[in-house]
Chains A and B, each alone.
Chain A
Amino acid sequence: MTVTGTRERVAVPTPRARSMPTGAWGAKAGFVVAVLAVWEIGIRLGDFGAIPAPTVLGKALVDLIAEGRIAAPVLDTLTSWALGLLVSAAIGVPVGLVLGVSTSIYRLCRFLLDFLRTIPSLALVPLAVLLYGSGLASKTLLITFACVWPIMLQTVYGVRDIDPVAEETCRSYRIRPVQRALFLILPSAAGYLATGLRIAAGVSLLLSLSAEIIIPAPGIGQEITMAQLGGAVPTMYAWIVAAGVLGIVINFLFARVERRALRWHPSQRQGGGR
């Protein structure tokens, strides 16, 4: 494997890898403004019940920020989000590697995998609380139970998609399993894995919020519940919007990581060499 060679090649950005021209930002902003305008007019004209208009909602959100009430719940949510994602990756990647390499082990575990990953994490709330209480540990458990599957699956898919020629080369040079895992399998699967992590990052946030709503545990989710119980509907939607914004930020960061992960991806070599 010519790892250094790969890096040098990709250091030269291809035209498509460059970010969109500044005009695209205008289009993005325009689209967002258009959606908000339709929403505001819709509320003013029709009966949408408890849904607040964007202006009302925006004011509630600004109030939350101005009163300094937004930081602590966001931090609580982010802590469980990160911890859950970390634990999921620590379990999902190694297990995914093994399952990807060996079809027979995959077959052995398939029933268990498909069975477990369709059991909704949220149904486990009382059991999680009984075992780990209503705090961070329970949230992490529930997140892990949901996030480990996309990471594991993407790793399996990534490992299976390894270049057969590179694999043959490894085999004929009798490269040892550990090295094979480090220098062939992991780099090849990096693209899929990065996508898996990005998906899992989203799922982790969703689960974090849902668990906070249902248990309830400290975080944005609990604030949503509290606002709902007290009838502070605009505040409730303000928290939901805050959760959405958090999602955008997380996705943006992971998309960056994903792009980095793909830079040294072997397939880039082929593309760059053309």
Chain B
Amino acid sequence: MDRRSFLLAAGLSATGLVAACGGNQARDGGTTADGRVVTNVGVTPLLNAAPLYLGIKKGFFTSEGLAVTAKTIQTAATAIPSMLKGELQYALVSTVPAINARVQGLQINMVLGNDVYAQEAKDDGAAILVRADSRIKKSADLAGATIGVVGLKSMPELAVRLAMRQAGADPGSAQFVELPYPEMNSAVKQGRVDAVLSADPFLQQGLDQGLRQACAPYSEALPKVTGLTWIGAGPYLQEHSDVAQRFVRAMTKSVQYAAEHPDEVRAVAGTFTTIPAKALAGIRLPIFDPRLETAQVEKIAKAMVTEKFITKEPDLNGLVRA
């Protein structure tokens, strides 16, 4: 009895491990009844995802023979495994996690850009908020401050660090704390943190509540640099290069359409986000731009090394493949 259970336990765990070792290849999603290629695309329900929904609505994907469905994702940490599993064919993520994945040897590729950061503070949908009586008036003043960002070692933290460095302050003197957007305004008001990097619609809410905008790190440090990009799993893109090209064509068209039709972006945003209609009307839209250049991605990668997000610059050869 004892020996048998022993063997059973050993056998069970062995099968568990074997099962765990498999299942790492990318698959395609099959085709629909009318012959369109099923394509699942992971997006976070924020304004930035509007091009995908516009593209679906306008039939850009259908005319390329694709049946695109939007799936909700929240972080790249779960979106990329889902992509490697073959559940998602593409996802909209920020450059930092895409580079991180690449550093660790995950086979993902960037296929096109989605938006670029603003050139001027007035167009920037994200900004540092402080209390009205705070000593922090510009990026340089952030030295020594406790700063709330939505994710550590992510794009927001990188942007703040770069803006500080550019202004001559030492980013190492600041302490970064992770805070969800809805908690940021009250955390500043209560003095739990000195500053937060907020974004619309929370940014506007914060200003309405009497907080003051000190600076806009993205537009200061990364003007016109690609923000979010569309990524896909390498093996999938290789095996289905024709389908991939069709997706890139349709998506590019969608992003351009979004850039040219801000009112339609606002209208479609009401269907897939929970942003209240009133906030939606006054919100600053992302600057949509499908262009994607290796040089820009390299700039981010270099910054990630300087700010010690990663230890050495990754080989970005082939990361961008349009």
Contacts and interface: CB of A to CB of B under 8 A. Distances in A.
Verify whether A and B have any Cβ pair under 8 Å: yes
A125 interface: yes
Interface string B200-243: 01100100000000000000000000000000000000000000
Given A49-B190, A129-B81, A230 B183 contact: no
A133 to B, nearest CB: 4
Interface string B82-125: 10110100000000000000000000000000000000000000
A190 to B, nearest CB: 24
Contacts of A126: 77-78, 81
Contacts of B77: 125-126
Nearest to B205: A231
Interface string A98-128: 1000101100110010000000000001110
Interface in A198-255: 214-216, 222, 225-233, 235-236
B183 A131 contact: no
Given A50-B186, A222-B72, A131 B6 contact: no
Contacts of B71: 134
Contacts of A231: 181-182, 201-202, 205, 274-276, 279
Contact of B23 (A48, A104, A131, A135): A131
Interface string B47-89: 0000000000000000000000001111001100110110100
A227 B46 CA distance: 11
B73 A129 contact: no
A129 B182 contact: no
A108 B2 contact: yes
Interface residues of A, number: 36
B76 to A, nearest CB: 10
Given A108-B2, A126-B78, A231-B205, A131 B20 contact: yes
Contacts, number: 104
Contacts of B20: 127, 131
Nearest to A132: B85
A129 B78 contact: yes
A49 B186 CA distance: 5
A130 interface: yes
A8 interface: no
How large, as a class, is the contact surface on chain B? Answer: 35 or more
A168 interface: no
Contacts of A233: 182
Contacts of B180: 228
A47 interface: yes
A207 to B, nearest CB: 15
B2 A105 contact: yes
A3 B186 CA distance: 62
A47 B78 contact: no
Nearest to A126: B81
Main secondary structure of the interface of A (DSSP, over half): helix
Contacts of A222: 72
Contacts of A226: 45, 72, 273-274
Interface string B113-155: 0000000000000000000000000000000000000000000
Interface in A30-48: 47-48
A134 B87 contact: yes
A50 B2 contact: no
A133 B88 CA distance: 9
B274 A227 contact: yes
A47 B72 contact: no
B183 A130 contact: no
Given A129-B78, A134-B78, A216-B73, A232 B190 contact: no
Contact of B1 (A102, A112, A129, A228): A102
Contacts of A133: 82, 85, 87
A232 B46 CA distance: 13
A104 B202 CA distance: 59
A232 B1 contact: no
B15 interface: no
A48 B189 CA distance: 11
A214 B273 contact: no
Contact of B9 (A47, A109, A132): A109
A235 B279 CA distance: 15
A112 B13 CA distance: 11
13 contacts: A47-B189, A49-B183, A50-B186, A102-B2, A105-B1, A109-B9, A126-B78, A133-B82, A216-B72, A216-B73, A230-B273, A230-B274, A230-B276
Given A126-B81, A231-B274, 6 more contacts: A49-B190, A105-B1, A108-B5, A130-B84, A216-B73, A232-B276
Interface of A: 47-50, 98, 102, 104-105, 108-109, 112, 125-127, 129-135, 214-216, 222, 225-233, 235-236
